[in-house]
Structure 1
Amino acid sequence: MNLSLEKWPTYRLAWFALFITAFTLEAAALFFQYGMDLKPCIMCVYQRTAVMGLIFAGLVGMTMPKNFIVRVVAWVSWGVSAIWGFLIAQEHADIQANPEDHFFLTCDFLPNYPSWMPLHEWFPQVFNPTGDCGNIDWQFIGLSMPGWMSVIFLGYAAAFITVFSWRLLKLRKI
């Protein structure tokens, strides 16, 4: 098996790695919610949605990684989820770090999902916000949950950009 970077997206193992890491994050989020009794806010729920997009990308990519259409769907889901998740996590971290700048900002009570996909109604145990965006209930090495999610989503986005760019560069040389 040739494991050069530009060929990674054509292997199930690469997509499985994306799936399993994102699935582990989702499991950790549920542990924080139900095991440690931390209440997710609306921004947390949106970040969970982005993680679900990464899980979806991994699952789709694993199905038929050599099929161009399947890879495009997986790529788009990976890229959009990683970048959108990073932006949401950054905004959430900013709300927590600079509460004086967001004094009149309040979190919504319900997620703004499309009417054709009300995840908070279908899966309220996962997507129903019950916490406050400004609360910092957990920290590790000086970073709150959205701070760590910013780092994690940045890693997913960097991996996406690196592999995608490398693939484009290598394929153009052929």
Structure 2
Amino acid sequence: MSFIQTISRAAAHKGAWLILFLSALALEIAALYFQYGLGLAPCIMCIYQRTAMYGIVLAGLLVVLINHSVTRFLGFTAWLVSAGWGWLIASEHVEILHASNPFFASCEIVPNFPAFMPLHEWLPAIFAAKGDCMEDGWRFMSMGMAEWMMIIFAAYFITGVVVLTCRLIGKKAF
């Protein structure tokens, strides 16, 4: 069995989607640990990245709960859109952090969620932005949180593209 066939078949099983769900959920739990355990208040850009990660969580959960070609199509769509959007937000956050003139680098204070879904009001413990976008105190291997999130979202996006491509080359329904 070829690599493409192996990946294509795996994408049809709940186990693969469970890995997607659990990995993204673990990152959300880690974000809450950073917030409440280490006292690192999330900024608006962090909250938007957190929201994008929840998109990946929900993409995986959808297919874990209902494994069907339609839900896999929706799962792939949510996975790729969320990972792409998360990468864009993380890269914008990195640009803000590395701005040549920090006086002109800023971000919003209140999240700009749709009026029909004010997550920061419904779940302020998770979606309220209380931090400063210019704060970059946490570092690991000389990179800050925003840089790590760029890598993580890129990995999710590339993995999603590879899996979807294998599915399409294998001429399988989603």
Alignment TM-score, normalising by the size of structure 2: 0.92
Partner of 1:31: 33
For residue 10 of structure 1, give the secondary structure of its aligned residue in structure 2.
coil
Q: Answer 1 or 2: which has greater helix percent.
A: 1
The 5-angstrom pairing of residues 2-151 of structure 1 reads 4-65=6-67, 67-100=68-101, 103-151=103-151
| Residue 99 (structure 1) shift | 4.5
Q: 1:139 and 1:37 mapped to 2: Cα distance?
A: 14
For residue 171 of structure 1, give the secondary structure of its aligned residue in structure 2.
coil
| Residue 94 (structure 1) shift | 1.5
Q: 1:119 and 1:8 mapped to 2: Cα distance?
A: 34
1:65-107 Cα distance to aligned partner (Å, 9 max, x none): 2x1111111111101111100111111112112242x532321
User: Contact 1:96 / 1:136 at 8 angstroms: preserved in 2?
Assistant: yes
User: Contact 2:99 / 2:105 at 8 angstroms: preserved in 1?
Assistant: no
Q: Which amino acid aligns with 1:77?
A: A
Q: 2:98 and 2:53 mapped to 1: Cα distance?
A: 23
Q: Which amino acid aligns with 1:123?
A: L
Query: Which 4+ stretches in 1 moved above 6 angstroms?
Result: none
Instruction: Say yes or no: does 1:171 pair with 2:174.
Output: no
1:16-38 Cα distance to aligned partner (Å, 9 max, x none): 00000000000000000000000
- Percent sequence identity over matched residues? 42
Aligned residues: 168
User: Contact 1:99 / 1:134 at 8 angstroms: preserved in 2?
Assistant: no
* Structure 2, gaps ≥5 residues long: none
Q: Which amino acid aligns with 1:152?
A: I
| Residue 162 (structure 1) shift | 0.5
User: Contact 1:33 / 1:39 at 8 angstroms: preserved in 2?
Assistant: yes
Q: 1:168 and 1:8 mapped to 2: Cα distance?
A: 13
User: Contact 1:92 / 1:133 at 8 angstroms: preserved in 2?
Assistant: yes
Q: 2:11 and 2:65 mapped to 1: Cα distance?
A: 12
